[in-house]
Amino acid sequence: MKLFLKTTMLLAVFAVSGLLAAQSPQKVKGEDSRFKADILVVVAHPDDEAFFTPYLARAINDLHKRVAVVFSTHGGSGVNRYTRERGPAMANEREIEAREACAKLGIRNVWFLDGKDTASQNLLDSLANWGHGANLERLVGLIRLTRPEVIFTHFPGVFIGENHGDHQATGVLVIEAFDLAANPLVFPSQLAGDMSHYESYLSNLQTWQAKKIYFGSDADDNKQFDGSGPAYSVREFSPSQKKPYWRLALDSAMAHRTQFPDDIERISKLSDAELEKLMSDPNSAWWSEPSTLIFGKSLVGGKPTDDVFANIEQKAQPASLKAGAYCAYAAANESAAGRLPRIELGGPWRFYADFYPAHGLCDLPVAKVPEIGVKTGMTLVIPIVILHDPSRTLSISLTVKVPEGWKVTDGAGQVLLPAEESTSLPVHVETPTLSSEDLKKAVAQEVVVHAEAEGKPVGEVKLRVLLRGSALPQ
C-alpha cells in the first residue's frame, strides 16, 4: 500500500513537471542583438573613418542604421602634432581619439585589430608587418559577431595619391574576410560551442555572409571614380539633426587632436557662416560634393550606382554562382598565360592581377596605365617579373626608357635567369630633385621597361610616375 502511494505520488510529480515544461520551455540563448550592424566600417587608421562619416551621419540619424567600426591599426607611426608622446604611447592616445570621433556620431561598437601602422605604399609590406593570418582571423570573428549587411573599407589598388599600404591591406583583408566568414571550414573554433566548462576559447558564433562591399579611395584624382558607385550629397541637411551632413562629420573629426591640432584650433574659432564657406569651396572642403562610394561587389544583384541598401533584403548568392565572377581581366590574363617568356609588373600590381578575379571584383576602376607617386629625388623601384620556361635557364636583356634628367641605376642590361617559373628583377631609377615651383607644374611621366630574350622582343611594361614634394616610401 505504502509502495503504491509512493509510486502514485512520484507519477503525479512527473506529470506536473512535464506539464510545466510544456507551458514554459527552457529558453535557449540567442545572438546578442546589441552588436548587430547594418554597416561595418573597416579602416586602417584613426581618422580614416572620415572617408565615410558624411554618409554614416545620414545612415545613423536619418536611415536609422546601426554602424560598427573596426580599425586595423592604432595609428602609432607618423607624427604627433599635438604633444610629445609618440610610437606606442601615441597609438594609445589615437585609440581614444578614434573612439571619441565614433561616439560623436553615435557609434559605440568599435574594435581594433593588431596591425602595426606601416609607412609604405606596399600593401604586402603592411600585411607582412601586421601578421596577415592572425588579423584575418580576428576580422572574420568580428564579421561573424556584427553580422553586417554592407561593409565599407579602403579601395585595394595602386593610385597616385596617399596610396597608403595600410589602407590597401585593410581593403584586401576585408575582401578576404567577406568571402570567408560564411564558410564553416574557416576558423571553425569561432563557430564551435563549448562542450565543457573549460573550453573557454570557443566562440559559439555562426557563419555570416555580408552582401555588399563599398570602397573609399585616397587617390589624388577622385573624379576618376565618378559614376563607379552611389553618390550622396554631403551638403544636404539631416532632417533629424537640422545640420548638413558635412557638419556632423566635421564635429566627429574634431576628436583627432594628435593628427591635425592646428586645423581643429582654427576651425573651432570659425562662425557657422565661415565654416559653411570653407566647406562649400571645392579647394578647401574636406569632402567632395557629392561623395561617391566606390562599388566593390554585391551578392544581391543590382547596378553599381544603386543605393547602398538596394536589394539588401534578398538572399545573398554565393560569389561562385554569380554570373561574371570571372572578369574580362582574368580572361585576358589567361590568354596571355600560354605565352612564354613574358614580362609583367611585379609587386602590388601582380598581386592585384590575381586578387581581383579570384574574389569576383570584376567592376573595379583600374588605372589605364599603372601609376604611382614618389617623393622627388628618391629612387623609384619598378618591380619586374619575367615568366619563363622553368625547364631551362634564359638570357634576357632589359632596356629602360626614362624621362630626361632621370637615371637608371640598377636592373638594366643582360641577365641570365635560373630555370624557374618566374623571376623577379627590380629596376632602380634615380629621380631628379625638383624645386617646389617645378613640383607644382609636375605631371606624371612614363617609365618603360622593355625585355628581349635571345634577340626577340618579349614585351614591355609601363609605369606612370608623378614626382611629389612628399610621398610614403614605396
- 185 sits in which H/E element: none
Closest by CA position to 286, among listed 55, 47, 50, 79: 50
Phi, psi of 410 (to 5 degrees): -160, 150
- By beta-carbon proximity to Zn ion, the closer residue of 44 and 69 is 44
- By beta-carbon proximity to Zn ion, the closer residue of 36 and 468 is 468
Amino acid at 379: T
CB 213 within 8 A of CB 174: yes
User: Dihedral (C-alpha) 126, 127, 131, 132: value to the nearest 10 degrees?
Assistant: 160
Task: State the binding string over 137-166 for Zn ion (x if CB under 5 A, else -).
Answer: ------------------------------
- By beta-carbon proximity to Zn ion, the closer residue of 42 and 385 is 42
Query: Residues binding Zn ion: what is the number (CB under 5 A)?
Result: 3
Q: How far is the CB of 241 from Zn ion (least distance, A)?
A: 27
Q: How far is the CB of 172 from Zn ion (least distance, A)?
A: 15
Task: State the binding string over 39-78 for Zn ion (x if CB under 5 A, else -).
Answer: -----xx--x------------------------------
Q: How far is the CB of 170 from Zn ion (least distance, A)?
A: 9
**Which grid cell is 100?**
571619441
- By beta-carbon proximity to Zn ion, the closer residue of 46 and 304 is 46
- By beta-carbon proximity to Zn ion, the closer residue of 163 and 209 is 163
Q: HSE on the CB side for 86, CA within 13 Å? A: 6
3-state helix, strand, coil in the chain (%, to 5): 35, 25, 45
Task: State the binding string over 7-46 for Zn ion (x if CB under 5 A, else -).
Answer: -------------------------------------xx-
Would you tell me how many other CB atoms lie within 10 Å of the CB of residue 304?
18
The Cα–Cα gap between 375 and 354 comes to 28
Would you tell me how many other CB atoms lie within 10 Å of the CB of residue 230?
20
Closest by CA position to 68, among listed 31, 96, 29, 105: 105
Find the residue with minimal CB distance to Zn ion: 45
Q: How far is the CB of 109 from Zn ion (least distance, A)?
A: 20
Q: How far is the CB of 227 from Zn ion (least distance, A)?
A: 25
Q: HSE on the CB side for 241, CA within 13 Å? A: 23
Measured CA to CA in angstroms, residue 325 lies from 154, 423, 474 at distances of: 21, 29, 31
The Cα–Cα gap between 244 and 31 comes to 36
- By beta-carbon proximity to Zn ion, the closer residue of 162 and 344 is 162
User: Dihedral (C-alpha) 381, 382, 387, 391: value to the nearest 10 degrees?
Assistant: -30
- By beta-carbon proximity to Zn ion, the closer residue of 162 and 460 is 162
Q: How far is the CB of 88 from Zn ion (least distance, A)?
A: 18
Q: How far is the CB of 167 from Zn ion (least distance, A)?
A: 6
Q: How far is the CB of 465 from Zn ion (least distance, A)?
A: 22
- By beta-carbon proximity to Zn ion, the closer residue of 45 and 104 is 45
Neighbour order of strands in the sheet with 110-115: 110-115, 67-73, 39-43, 150-154, 212-216, 294-298
DSSP 227-286: TSS-EE-SSSBPTTTSSBHHHHHHHHHTT-TTT-HHHHHHHHTS-HHHHHHHHHSTTT-S
- By beta-carbon proximity to Zn ion, the closer residue of 173 and 385 is 173
| Beta pairing partners, 381 | 428
* 91 near Zn ion, rule: CB under 5 A: no
Q: How far is the CB of 36 from Zn ion (least distance, A)?
A: 27
Q: How far is the CB of 98 from Zn ion (least distance, A)?
A: 11
- By beta-carbon proximity to Zn ion, the closer residue of 48 and 371 is 48
Give the interface with Zn ion as residue ranges (CB under 5 A).
44-45, 48
